[in-house]
Amino acid sequence: MLGRLRRVTVYETASRFYLVGCDTSGTRFKVLKIDRIDSKALLTGEPECDYSKDEILELLATITEGSSVVYRSSASTNGKSGRKGSPGLIERISNAFGLLGVVRFLEGYYLIVVTKANIIASFGYHSMYKIAEVAMISLAMDGLSTSAEEQRYVKIFQVCFAVFSSFKNVVP
């Protein structure tokens, strides 16, 4: 059984986000997947198993291969394959301190990730952290909403949250 996660990396494909967390030794990993196909529902999944370093690298390679759409162009005379859409697995945030949660306003969900934290106290072997920086990632397939009302709620949330930490730009 895996204990506390030390670092979290956020990966993105066209249809999902993958959060990969590792333990303090960097040898055991957990995965949380978030579907982004339906912006009105938050669908998540977490395999019950832990992964070793080799297993997580193999899983990420499999996801990369599976998320790259390859097609044959009928206009192509030499029969070469071309890529359609994104190049597969994209690393959005690396070495995050943790996941604060997910928030929904009017049109979609946003992932709130702690990207920077500072130790403010230690009690024995335990450290207390202060959140220094947070990133907000839109889970929608088409990125940020252009709705004025949605953007208004996002800004209000950022201003309220800024009392405790500093926000990075909202990432589409």
- Residue 108 sits in the same domain as residue 67: no
Query: DSSP readout, 56-121?
Result: HHHHHHHHHHHH-EEEE-TT-SS--EEEESS-S-EEEEEEE-EEEEEEE-SS-EEEEEEEEEEEEE
Task: Tell me what pLDDT residue 168 has.
Answer: 58
Residue ending a domain, choose from 72, 95, 118: 95
Which tokens go with 116?
């920077």
Total domains in the chain come to 2
* pLDDT single digits (tens) 128-137: 888 888 889 9
Residue ending a domain, choose from 65, 95, 125: 95
Q: What does pTM read for this prediction?
A: 0.77
Q: Report the mean per-residue pLDDT for the chain.
A: 80
Strands 7-12 and 16-22, sheet pairing: antiparallel
- Residue 125 sits in the same domain as residue 150: yes
- Residue 86 sits in the same domain as residue 163: no
